[in-house]
Amino acid sequence: MVTKTANGGVPVRALQARARLFDPNDKRYIGVLFITPVQLLLIMMLIFPFGLEFFVALTEWQPTYGTSIWEAVGSVFSGDTELGLNYYYLVTDEPRFLEALGRTLAISVLSLCLEFVIGLGLATIFLKKFWGKRIWFTALLTPMMIMPVVVGYTWFMLFQYSGPVNQVLGWIGGTSAGADLQWLNNGLLAFFAVVITEVWHWTPLFFLILLSGLNAVPENPVRAATVLGASNWRIFWTVIMPNMRGVIIIAFVIRGMEVIKLFDEIYILTRGGPGTATETMSLYLYKLGFQDFRLAYAGSAGFIVLVITVVMINMMLKPIRYELLEKR
């Protein structure tokens, strides 16, 4: 397929669309005219704080120093500040930052894998008709509708020493199996308590996305594989799953961006404890910025997390991008 281009290599279709967009006689022109001021306002609301934080992160400024934030920004332009020291200290002299980053990635990977496996299993079950399907469907989606603070407090009560979780474990494996578990006072158990809470809260989202993807799989390839004598297991892995790749990636991207920002549930459940055993990046940045008032330092850490998140999301979206390019 050959695309016609005008002088300068710009496609003719693009030039025609641009001309229609700004044509006063076109109805869409009025829409663009009204929406432009709002878009500019939103862009300024995004760019100004981002740019200010970028320059502040290059300094060692904090409110307790008694200097204004504009003096800190001015020191960047005047050359009075050694740039990049915060980033250097974070990577070399701040093990707590690296531990929080690693802990966040561990919680993210474990939670996403469990949510995917459980969500896919539930979505496969709900493809078939069974008694009370609508009731169970509504019940499965309910956790996703609950506020994170409420979820954190609920599981905080469930994981108490004499709470329902230990009670049930005691019934299953005997008294010693549940009564001796200090879920929120042991670092490893507290870590798994956070993962369990996160999985319970957000598995419904994976379930909903994957169920929509399974319902959208074309029927013809499945029927052809069935006629050829393929087993259900083989059909699932060789026909259904390849057609689900884009949906799965989108589900991981949406949940990945959210789980990296995990804060509410951990703050209520463990406050990052015991010690720093469950301290994630969001909780670490909160303590660094709003308890220690090291705002510049927290800004530097935040930018590092932003870069890592953008790189990871782009890597996850690569397969979809290649598919779209191939279709063009």
Confidence of residue 4 (pLDDT cuts 50, 70, 90): very low
pLDDT, tens digit (0-9, with 9 covering 90-100), for 130-141: 888 889 999 999
Which residue has better confidence, 31 or 181? 181
Confidence of residue 17 (pLDDT cuts 50, 70, 90): low
Domain boundaries, given as residue ranges, for the chain: 94-293
Cα 178–chain centre separation:
33
59: left (phi over 0), alpha (psi -120 to 50) or beta: beta
Q: Write out the two tokens for 229.
A: 């004598």
Q: How many CA atoms lie within 13 A of 113 on its CB side?
A: 6
pLDDT, tens digit (0-9, with 9 covering 90-100), for 217-267: 888 888 888 888 888 888 888 888 888 888 898 899 989 888 888 898 999
* 171-195 mean pLDDT: 79
* Domain 94-293, second-level architecture: Orthogonal Bundle (1.10)
* 158-186 mean pLDDT: 77
Q: What is the mean pLDDT of the chain?
A: 82
226: left (phi over 0), alpha (psi -120 to 50) or beta: alpha
pLDDT, tens digit (0-9, with 9 covering 90-100), for 200-218: 999 999 999 999 999 888 8
pTM of the model: 0.80
Percent of the chain with pLDDT over 90: 23
Which residue has better confidence, 57 or 138? 138
